Structure 1
Amino acid sequence: MKKAIEILDLFMEHRKLTLSQIVKLTGLPKTTVHRSVNTLVETGLLHVCADEGYELGLKLLSYGTLVKERLDVRGVAYSFMQQLQEDVGESVNLIVREGDLAIYIEKIDSTQPVRVFTKVGRTAPLYAGACPRILLAFAGEEERTHLLNTADWRVYASGTMKSKEEVLPVLQQSRISGYAVSHSELTEESSAVAAPIFDHSGLVVAGLSLAGPTHRFGEERLPFLIEETRRTAARISTALGYR
């Protein structure tokens, strides 16, 4: 991996390089360079030119676009997340999808003594928890079916959903209502509400959630938490250009 990255780094200064040029610039054995370059070509990170040279592959453009989108949504969302935490008093999380997982990219912890802690960088399956599941709910139908068919259905807590048949009607309801709710799905005695964040093209690029101990997410307070989460997610979406 380190050698492959070293080769990719060369293309920051060179638009196109031949195999012999890569060998000369890196000082690596020709067999090592040949093997690494072949791997980079197979994965779409390098492209073979008509004259047998190499240049950066289009897959890197996809990665760059994803990074830009995620940096954009994180930067735009943060002030709204701060306001939501101040208004409601619960922890606020921002999550994006990474393949078949959800990854937490930003959080603002509650200041209350009893709270739910989440680490930035934490991952969770898309079927478990309100915020991961809202991303799954708004994925394309074909993609959603594939993700459900290939899920490992690991049980994290007493409320974790255990099958495609159990999750499907919940996903459908989330698509209709525009929010998701979970109780003891990833951690015992923790609850969350979540809403989708849309970009300028109408795609869901992130999920916003409130999380806290279950005793503060009871029937009397839940409608208020849902409404505040949906309202904040809508404001972030508007700031990202969604209409």
Structure 2
Amino acid sequence: MESKNKTVIKSMSLLNLFLTRPQLTLNEIVELSQIPKTSVHRMLASLEEMRFLDKNADGKYSLGLLFLRFGQLVSERLDIRQLALPVMKVLRDDVGEAVNLIIKYGNEAMYIEKQDTNQPVRLYTAVGRKSPLYAGDSRIILAYLPEEERDRYVDQTELKPLGLGTITDKKKLREVLDKTREQGYTISKSELENYTTAISAPILNHSHNIIAGLSIAGPDIRFSEERLPELIDKVKKAALEISMKLGYKNTTW
């Protein structure tokens, strides 16, 4: 394990050389890094294979397009909070319930922004809290993942009961995910915490990829069947407004 860690550190030191230089030859990398040429050659081959580096016809290396993809994802996830916050505040004031912004974080979901309600009885959700993708308002993200990724997650994940309403049957979960895609929102009741309800809608980018989920949540006593249509409409419209700020064009979920 120690040798592997050293290899990772050395590989990172090679990548750091490109922070100030757009292109480098093998010999230039050896000279700048002070790492033996055979080791550098081996690490460069691995970095090129993993698309962290590209090599042109002249044998010069540069940072690979994979970094552009990573950079775009990081940028979107950082910008999403700033873009979403004004919309979240309006939505919170309009419906009088807590509003959450959720992103995919590894194989889980994470709450990255929230607007608390002024109601005396409220659902407490902390920024930074993680939850499984299969339960609660986080499920909106799972529903909008690419089909292959979504199926792999369901196949490999144990659906543990977290609340009275947590879906633990994989067949039922797949049906709910399909329905969520069709209707453009999902409702969860007592899935993460008992006697709570959450309604969430997807935030999509210009490529129609899921970037985040927007939800309103609170005690189920305030989410009556008569009130649900109004709340669903407002969450979907707020999520669409944020999506359009990210370049999303089609207004059909």
How high is the TM-score relative to the length of structure 2? 0.80
1:224 — aligned with what? Answer: 230
Structural mapping, 1:40-119, within 5 Å: 40-98=47-105, 100-119=107-126
Moved more, 58-67 or 222-231: 222-231
Structure 1: any 5+ residue segments left out of the alignment?
Answer: none
The answer to whether 1:196 aligns with 2:202 is yes
2:148 — aligned with what? Answer: 142
After superposition, what is the alpha-carbon deviation per residue over 1:154-173, rounded to whole angstroms, capped at 9, x for unaligned? Answer: 33333221132021221222
After superposition, what is the alpha-carbon deviation per residue over 1:154-196, rounded to whole angstroms, capped at 9, x for unaligned? Answer: 3333322113202122122222222111122223333211011
* Number of corresponding residues: 242
After superposition, what is the alpha-carbon deviation per residue over 1:116-158, rounded to whole angstroms, capped at 9, x for unaligned? Answer: 233333333321112x211222333333322222223233333
The answer to whether 1:169 aligns with 2:208 is no
The residue matched to 1:104 in structure 2 has which SS?
Answer: strand
Distance 1:165 1:59 in 2: 35
After superposition, what is the alpha-carbon deviation per residue over 1:33-85, rounded to whole angstroms, capped at 9, x for unaligned? Answer: 66765554443222345555432122111101212332343322211001111
The residue matched to 2:19 in structure 1 has which SS?
Answer: coil
Distance 1:186 1:8 in 2: 42
Which of 192, 197, 209 matches 1:186?
192
Distance 2:50 2:125 in 1: 33
2:132 — aligned with what? Answer: 125
> Displacement, 1:4?
4.0
- In structure 2, the CA distance between the partners of 1:189 and 1:7, relative to structure 1 (3 Å rule), is farther
1:21 — aligned with what? Answer: 28
Sequence identity (%): 46
The answer to whether 1:211 aligns with 2:238 is no
Distance 2:37 2:98 in 1: 53
1:159 — aligned with what? Answer: 165
- In structure 2, the CA distance between the partners of 1:55 and 1:92, relative to structure 1 (3 Å rule), is same
Moved more, 60-69 or 78-87: 60-69
RMSD: 2.8
Distance 1:23 1:156 in 2: 54
Q: What letter corresponds to residue 225 of structure 2 in structure 1?
A: E
